[in-house]
Amino acid sequence: MNNQNRQQININPEDTTPIECPKCKSQIFQECFMMRKISAIISPSGREEVFSIPVPVCIACGTPYTGSTEERISNNSVEE
Ligand SMILES: [Zn+2]
């Protein structure tokens, strides 16, 4: 009875805040990837590693939205 896959949350779109591109005010973003390198010192495997972080990029002007990127970086590195 415990489905932890996805919780359905009812959110009224009117209660949310649209995020605009800081440059052109477009609200349409596409997922791209930012590549990051972990130095051997902090890498869990002890070797230099490269990994990718999903980043929304404005489809109109190509500006990456990095508002919560820091959060996602720390989340990513904790997992695995
Ligand atoms: Zn833009």
pLDDT in tens, 34-80: 899 999 999 989 999 999 999 999 999 999 987 754 554 455 544 44
pLDDT (0 to 100) of residue 78: 46
CA of 4 from ligand 1 middle (Å) equals 36
Between 19 and 58, where is the model more confident?
58
Average pLDDT over residues 4-27: 85
Centre of ligand 1 from the C-alpha of residue 52, in Å: 22
Residue 29: pLDDT above 70? Answer: yes
| Whole-angstrom distance, CA of residue 64 vs CA of residue 20 | 11
Ligand 1 centroid – CA 7 distance (Å): 31
**How many angstroms does the Cα of residue 36 sit away from the middle of ligand 1?**
23
Residue, of 6 and 52, whose pLDDT is higher: 52
HSE, side-chain direction, 13 A CA sphere, residue 36? 17
Centre of ligand 1 from the C-alpha of residue 67, in Å: 14
Q: Give the Cα separation of 16 and 31 in Å (integer).
A: 20
Ordered by start, the domain boundaries in the chain are 18-78
Expressed in angstroms and rounded, the spacing between residue 12 Cα and the centre of ligand 1 is 25
